[in-house]
Amino acid sequence: AMNGDIDIIICKSISRFARNVMDTLKVIRKLREKKNYVLFEKENLYTGDMQSEFILTMVAATAQEESRSTSENITWATSKRFEQGEARFVRILGYKKVKGKRWVIDPKEAAAVREIFRQFLEGRTPTEIANHFIRNGYVKANGRNDWTNVAITSILRNERYVGDVVCQKTFTEDYLTHKKVVNKGQKTKYYIKDHHEGIVDRETFESAQKMLKPKTKGIKRGPSKRYDFTGRIVCGECG
């Protein structure tokens, strides 16, 4: 549109155009400078005919308020489901949703998860396990083979593999930006025990958690050295 390739933009409603009033007005003004106009079908507003932004501002403000109200209602309903022991399904290695039934164990993927726990309890590091999985063609839930120590550690720490679920690990901080942040106590967390069938037994999972605890307590470390490329360069083979 800014290149002059579009004559008119047809939008279902103002609420679909932008999340807040300021963004709506800012973009509309930029488009009008380039003689690009927007038709909002629901509100029957055409920016090419408008002599004033007052109506657009009022309608956009109403849409923003509706967005806030909807966000609060969804958050409230989600929290109530957590309280009742209903956890949101998340696609992870080992579990799938089959014909509407959630948390169905995939035998092939579950075998990979058990292999991770087995190797870790035998003394292999997450990096060594990741390299082993890459060499042997194991794939993640997304179908990729780019295993890293972080991915392995995440599986080892995930309580879902023992059949439990921690709800609200993250939450939406701002309904306008939809930015999600890690829940560090700002919101209530819900721990649902024995929510679904586990892939590993509880003894195996708890043993892994003990081994994952840092063993450097009480050791004083010197200042870490950081350079221009610290954290920017990674190994092309192991990640």
Do 92 and 141 contact (CB within 8 A), yes or no? yes
**Cβ count near 192 (within 10 Å):** 18
Do 56 and 50 contact (CB within 8 A), yes or no? yes
SS3 226: coil
Do 171 and 187 contact (CB within 8 A), yes or no? yes
Which of these, 16, 64, 19, 68, lies nearest to 40 by C-alpha position? 16
d(CA 214, CA 233): 25
Which tens digit of pLDDT belongs to each residue from 69-96? 777 777 777 677 777 767 788 889 999 9
pLDDT attached to residue 84: 73
Which tens digit of pLDDT belongs to each residue from 160-218? 999 998 887 776 766 566 677 777 777 777 788 988 999 999 999 999 999 998 765 55
What is the model's pTM?
0.59
Which tens digit of pLDDT belongs to each residue from 105-158? 999 999 999 999 999 999 999 999 999 999 999 999 888 999 999 999 999 999
Q: Is the pLDDT of residue 223 over 70?
A: no
Strand partners, 226: none
CA dihedral 61, 65, 67, 68 (to 10 degrees): 140
pLDDT attached to residue 55: 75
